[in-house]
Amino acid sequence: MGLRNDFRRVEDSYRAADQLLPELNHFLGETGNDRQDDKRLRLLLEQLRGYGLVSEIDDDERLRIQPLIVHVANPANLQNLLAGLDPTDGADPGQPNDN
């Protein structure tokens, strides 16, 4: 039964791109032009795809939304975060960093 639940969770993470439009409009407001709203959604999804948070929109106009924890817990992303927070990067921890 566990494998079936895992499969359902993966299937549930797929969404039709047009299902996301009402959510986007709720937060950013409608432009008054359906074509422009769709273009804005696709541009934002493409930006999120660059971070690995969503997949490419497929032929059926669906995309997979990656659970955020998978992205955050990625070892490379964690290493970059730790490196950015490391006070021993050569700067005096008591002094502001000029970066």
Higher pLDDT residue, 10 or 25?
25
From the list 24, 9, 16, the residue with the least C-alpha distance to 59 is: 16
Model confidence over 68-99: pLDDT tens digits? 777 677 788 788 888 888 887 655 555 555 55
State the Cα–Cα distance between residues 78 and 20, nearest whole angstrom. 29
Model confidence over 44-76: pLDDT tens digits? 999 999 888 899 999 999 999 888 777 677 788
Q: What is the mean pLDDT of residues 29-43?
A: 93
Going by C-beta distance under 8 Å and a sequence separation of 6 or more, which residues neighbour residue 18?
38, 61
State the Cα–Cα distance between residues 57 and 46, nearest whole angstrom. 9
From the list 34, 71, 38, 39, the residue with the least C-alpha distance to 54 is: 71
State the Cα–Cα distance between residues 20 and 17, nearest whole angstrom. 6
In the chain, the amino acid numbered 72 is V
